[in-house]
Structure 1
Amino acid sequence: MGRAGKSRPAEGQAVTDTATAWQVQSLLLGYPDAALLERRPLLRAAVTTLPTPVGTPLGVFLDHLDRTPPIRLAADYVATFDHRKRFSPYLTYFAYGDTRKRGMALLRFKHAYRAAGLELDDSELPDHLAVVLEFGATDAATRATAHRLLTEHRAGLELLRLGLRDTDSPWAPVLESVCATLPPLGRREHDTVARLAAQGPPEEEVGLQPYGPPEHMPRRGTR
């Protein structure tokens, strides 16, 4: 009894940390518009409450926001996430490419949100990393669902993290922070990352109805 009682505050703090981290990460993965830049003081305050492996990388990215002109931030964001499929923020892309199977995977995301009472409009694909993180930051039920979705696509997240890191992208620390909130990669996931790095996602150019391909979707901003 004593041991279990002592563990509860730590567990509760871990839950709070995850919710805070996912909310901050979601915002920092959005388009760097004026609304995001105005939130920097609040985001910094939140980051200081997080464990070092999660919070420190976010602080690095916030430093980048502070010292980079807004027009440069916007141009870098577009060049990174809108023009390079290698850095796609859409989780199902890495596993399924532009294939019929990806359309079904997108529907699974949408159904998971609907079961939790969330209906997305047609301006957003449900597998956008920032959408999943924001969804998971809501409450215990959505956090469990988001954790499952992120873990199912852990290999794709790792490939995105490695790609951003290898090109010295300013968004690499944000992905480092995201991955620090998830379990380490297993052997199978390491194998999947190696295969995707060597071969890339499938390339059948069909079947994303009722969703359009990511490059034709409106850009995400802060919410």
Structure 2
Amino acid sequence: MRNGITFTLRALAHLLRYPDASMRARLPDIHAALNAEDAVGRVRRAELDALMDRLLADGLDAEAVYVDLFDRGRGTALHLFEHVHGDSRDRGPAMVDLVRTYEQAGLLLAPGELPDHLTVLLEFASTQPVRQARAFVGEFAHILQSIATALQRRGSDYAAAIAAVLDLAGQPLGADAGTPAGEDEPLDASWQEPAAFGGCSTQGQAAPGQPQPVHLVRRPPPAAGAAR
């Protein structure tokens, strides 16, 4: 990481959006932003360039690939609460509290945008000072590690975009100390959202206009002999 990451975070957020014609038309700008800020390494930028080249070459097919990957694949979903809560009732209140986090920072979601989508989280992070933005992304790096691994298993070049986000957080791909390699533990059994999201008007919230932390942590293992 060099001097800043603001434009790189925004560029990656746009790169992970649905690749319709409007988004694909902005790929040259995304390429320019990534190179101008120089916040991720050359090898990673080359991987991102390959992804962008493929999106331009595939045209409408790129949209179908995106839907198959991110809208139909549970392990690759970009809605991060999908990995934390699944379809449980806890997801709704968590969404509301995350919206409050954005509003307290003076940010409003566009109609139809869900607050837990990775692109929205990255846009929010881009408004924070570098240190806080890094820490913010680091809070959900464990989920990004799982998503990137799932994308790699499917041979998707989108893995480079997730890996670039992890690079910005100082947690490169494969650095997670969670599930051992070779074990594919369901995410819903591994991660939970602590009380910071369960009534976060005070807990887990900074003052208005200050960086707002997201706390997504590993669920502690059950005590020996405890009922499951």
Give deviations 1:175-200, integer Å, cap 9, x for gaps. Answer: 11111111327xx9522587993233
Contact 1:27–1:36 at 8 Å: present in 2 too? yes
| 1:44 to 2:34 alignment | no
| 1:62 to 2:52 alignment | yes
- Find the partner of 1:152 among 133, 139, 143: 139
Q: 1:183 to 1:107 in 2, by over 3 A?
A: farther
Q: Which residue of 1 aligns with 2:64?
A: 75
Contact 1:54–1:181 at 8 Å: present in 2 too? no
Q: Which residue of 1 aligns with 2:211?
A: none
Under a length normalisation based on structure 1, what TM-score does the superposition of the two structures give?
A: 0.72
Greater Cα offset, 86-95 or 104-113 = 104-113
Q: Distance in 2 between matches of 1:147 and 1:79?
A: 30
Q: Which residue of 2 aligns with 1:176?
A: 163
Q: Distance in 2 between matches of 1:110 and 1:118?
A: 9
| 1:138 to 2:113 alignment | no
What one-letter code is carried by the residue in structure 2 that aligns with 1:82? D
Once the 2 structures are TM-superposed, how far is the Cα of residue 145 of structure 1 from its aligned partner? 5.8
| 1:95 to 2:84 alignment | yes
Q: Which residue of 1 aligns with 2:13?
A: 26
Once the 2 structures are TM-superposed, how far is the Cα of residue 47 of structure 1 from its aligned partner? 2.2
Q: Which residue of 2 aligns with 1:214?
A: none
Once the 2 structures are TM-superposed, how far is the Cα of residue 147 of structure 1 from its aligned partner? 3.9
Q: Which runs of 5+ in 2 are unaligned?
A: 190-228
Give deviations 1:121-143, integer Å, cap 9, x for gaps. Answer: 55121010001112222353xx6
Once the 2 structures are TM-superposed, how far is the Cα of residue 168 of structure 1 from its aligned partner? 0.7
Q: Distance in 2 between matches of 1:30 and 1:121?
A: 14
Instruction: Find runs of 4+ consecutive structure 1 residues off by over 6 angstroms.
Output: 193-196
Q: Secondary structure at the match of 1:100?
A: coil
Once the 2 structures are TM-superposed, how far is the Cα of residue 103 of structure 1 from its aligned partner? 3.0
Contact 2:27–2:52 at 8 Å: present in 1 too? yes
Under a length normalisation based on structure 2, what TM-score does the superposition of the two structures give?
A: 0.70
Once the 2 structures are TM-superposed, how far is the Cα of residue 44 of structure 1 from its aligned partner? 1.9
**Taking CA–CA contacts closer than 8 Å with sequence separation of 6 or more, which of the two structures ends up with the larger relative contact order?**
1
> How many aligned positions are there?
185
Identity %: 27
Q: Secondary structure at the match of 1:108?
A: helix
Give deviations 1:87-130, integer Å, cap 9, x for gaps. Answer: 11011222222223333432332122011111225512101000
Q: Which residue of 2 aligns with 1:85?
A: 74
Greater Cα offset, 91-100 or 158-167 = 91-100
Once the 2 structures are TM-superposed, how far is the Cα of residue 41 of structure 1 from its aligned partner? 2.0
Q: Distance in 1 between matches of 2:185 and 2:109?
A: 34
Contact 1:21–1:54 at 8 Å: present in 2 too? no
Q: Secondary structure at the match of 1:119?
A: coil
Q: Which residue of 1 aligns with 2:216?
A: none
Q: Distance in 2 between matches of 1:40 and 1:183?
A: 25
